[in-house]
Chain A
């Protein structure tokens, strides 16, 4: 009896309804369908930048300029405070600030990934990942503008780049991947729980002081392991060191790779489970 009932119902239903793909397949499809619509997130990201600087003469180059002022101003004072020579400290500080600004802004905006696009999510069924790619792309463009001061620094401080400058390619790629999962994860969490954004904000504020951004990691002495296991330091170091013509710290690459895998895995699991709920949350 039971067997008969089971065999009858699905055959009737399957006439019109194809089998529902698994949560994992749907989540994967969302990510890839979003990625191939590069023109959509690319255009949206550039539109965001254009809107932000509408009516200003320098446009996004204000970022470049203000970063230049900040690093010169801080560089002069802090090299005195840390008793290091400005020659080595200034490039270190500038790169640290530029990469930190990328990480910090991205993390903050990640919380708004889906909430900012609420009206779009409620109107048109485009892949959710588009919104994450848009946030990362926008911040990468800003990072690119800030990095324009690097050539000036290379000349002024006589930095000789080594072969390991090619390391910046995988470094930027990993920064982007970490940006994407951060946007998916924090975007979902903070559209469900509205107090995630302020929590993330204060964590990032504390992290700035605990991470060797403006102070050298070697200053930690026997506590150097604190920097070694810090994924934020790893993320900064893999991009900063090649530009300064030195090798990254020994643990930076392994730590960042492990962090990327763990983060992506967690974000993907959560996305697969709750993808269909995002439209209800925002």
Chain B
């Protein structure tokens, strides 16, 4: 069974300005030992997430709500295993598929079919296996003859279809999605939701970050509200959404 556990997870981003990126400045600052040196070495950092406690189990469909910069995307990256927490503990079991931005590993000069294989590879799926399933994936995208055209001729919506189709081709146990995915049209969203229901029924976890509250209410059964990297509210989507709107409106 897939599960995710986070205890007191904090993420601190070092901000490398021009001078901390430079080896020369760094070496000079260690050798001078004066005030300037200390100033040079003082690293600026941003606390992106603070003391996050979160338990997710199979069947959980979690909505991440919060204003821009609240830490939604950073939390998704922690859940995907990209950022190792600077403090706290994180443990997840289950095969993860993350749709964080549209562009990952997309080769715009290659065709849709070629990109299906490449993206599958990043999901740890052997190209041979991917090629066997390429037709059913192409079918799901509804791209028609575009599937054999270079991806640079695609619209944003078409790229979304392609990426979603690959990410869910082999039902993942944990699916993480950032809001860009919801930019698809109504017909695609209906299709996507149908597929999502199929696999969430099969004991899986969905985490979805978005500002589209009606859509989150439709897709999710839990929600947390993030503000400046902290969880400030959790509960049903309706409750948390109301709290969020009270706070921002």
Q: Which residues of A contact B (CB under 8 A)?
A: 13, 16-18, 20, 37, 39-40, 43-44, 47, 51, 54, 119-126, 192-196, 199, 276, 279-281
Q: Which of B13, B16, B98 contacts A123 (CB 8 A)?
A: B98
Can you list, as one digit per residue, whether each of B1-35 has a CB less than 8 Å from chain A (1) or not (0)? 00001010000011010000111101000000000
Task: Answer whether A195 and B24 are a contact pair too, CB < 8 Å, given A43-B121, A280-B13, A280-B14.
Answer: yes
Q: Which of B5, B13, B22, B81 contacts A125 (CB 8 A)?
A: B81
Interface contacts beyond A37-B124, A279-B84: sample of 20 additional A-B pairs, CB < 8 Å, sorted by A: A16-B91, A17-B89, A20-B89, A44-B121, A47-B107, A47-B118, A120-B104, A121-B82, A122-B77, A122-B82, A122-B100, A123-B82, A123-B105, A124-B105, A194-B22, A195-B21, A276-B84, A279-B82, A280-B14, A280-B83
B109 at the interface (CB under 8 A from A): yes
B80 at the interface (CB under 8 A from A): yes
Find chain B residues with CB under 8 A from A20 CB. 89
B101 at the interface (CB under 8 A from A): yes
B123 at the interface (CB under 8 A from A): yes
CB distance from A114 to the nearest CB of B (A): 13
Find chain A residues with CB under 8 A from B82 CB. 121-125, 279
Find chain A residues with CB under 8 A from B123 CB. 124
The 8 closest A-B pairs by CB, nearest first: A125-B81, A123-B104, A276-B84, A193-B23, A194-B21, A124-B122, A17-B89, A17-B91
Find chain B residues with CB under 8 A from A279 CB. 77, 82-84
Most buried by A among B24, B105, B128: B105
B104–A124 contact, CB under 8 A? yes
B127–A51 contact, CB under 8 A? no
Residue on A with the closest CB to B25? A195
CB distance from B41 to the nearest CB of A (A): 14
A43–B22 contact, CB under 8 A? no
B38 at the interface (CB under 8 A from A): no
B80–A125 contact, CB under 8 A? yes
B101–A123 contact, CB under 8 A? yes
Q: How far is the CA of A54 from the CA of B14 in the complex (A)?
A: 39
B126 at the interface (CB under 8 A from A): yes
A120–B24 contact, CB under 8 A? no
B104–A51 contact, CB under 8 A? no
CB distance from B243 to the nearest CB of A (A): 28
B47 at the interface (CB under 8 A from A): no
CB distance from A249 to the nearest CB of B (A): 34
Residue on B with the closest CB to A121? B82
B77–A13 contact, CB under 8 A? no
Residue on B with the closest CB to A194? B21
Q: How far is the CA of A43 from the CA of B110 in the complex (A)?
A: 14
Q: Is the interface of A mostly helix, strand, loop or mixed?
A: helix
Can you list, as one digit per residue, whether each of B100-115 has a CB less than 8 Å from chain A (1) or not (0)? 1101110101000000
The 16 listed contacts between A and B (C-beta, < 8 Å) are A16-B5, A39-B127, A51-B107, A54-B109, A120-B104, A120-B105, A122-B77, A122-B104, A124-B122, A125-B96, A193-B26, A195-B22, A276-B84, A279-B82, A279-B83, A280-B14
Find chain B residues with CB under 8 A from A193 CB. 21-23, 26
Residue on A with the closest CB to B101? A123
Most buried by B among A39, A44, A123, A196: A123
B100–A39 contact, CB under 8 A? no
Can you list, as one digit per residue, whether each of B112-154 has a CB less than 8 Å from chain A (1) or not (0)? 0000001001111011100000000000000000000000000
Q: How far is the CA of A47 from the CA of B98 in the complex (A)?
A: 23
Find chain A residues with CB under 8 A from B96 CB. 125
Find chain A residues with CB under 8 A from B126 CB. 39
Q: How far is the CA of A43 from the CA of B82 in the complex (A)?
A: 23
Residue on A with the closest CB to B89? A17
Q: How far is the CA of A195 from the CA of B16 in the complex (A)?
A: 13
Find chain A residues with CB under 8 A from B100 CB. 122-123
Q: Which of B14, B21, B24, B89 contacts A13 (CB 8 A)?
A: B89
Residue on A with the closest CB to B21? A194
Q: How far is the CA of A144 from the CA of B22 in the complex (A)?
A: 37
A119–B104 contact, CB under 8 A? yes
CB distance from B133 to the nearest CB of A (A): 16
Find chain B residues with CB under 8 A from A39 CB. 121, 126-128
Most buried by B among A17, A20, A125, A281: A125
A119–B23 contact, CB under 8 A? no
Most buried by B among A37, A193, A194: A193
Residue on A with the closest CB to B24? A195
Find chain A residues with CB under 8 A from B83 CB. 279-280
CB distance from A113 to the nearest CB of B (A): 16
Q: How far is the CA of A20 from the CA of B89 in the complex (A)?
A: 9
Q: How far is the CA of A193 from the CA of B77 in the complex (A)?
A: 24
Q: How far is the CA of A207 from the CA of B100 in the complex (A)?
A: 43
Residue on A with the closest CB to B13? A280
CB distance from B19 to the nearest CB of A (A): 11
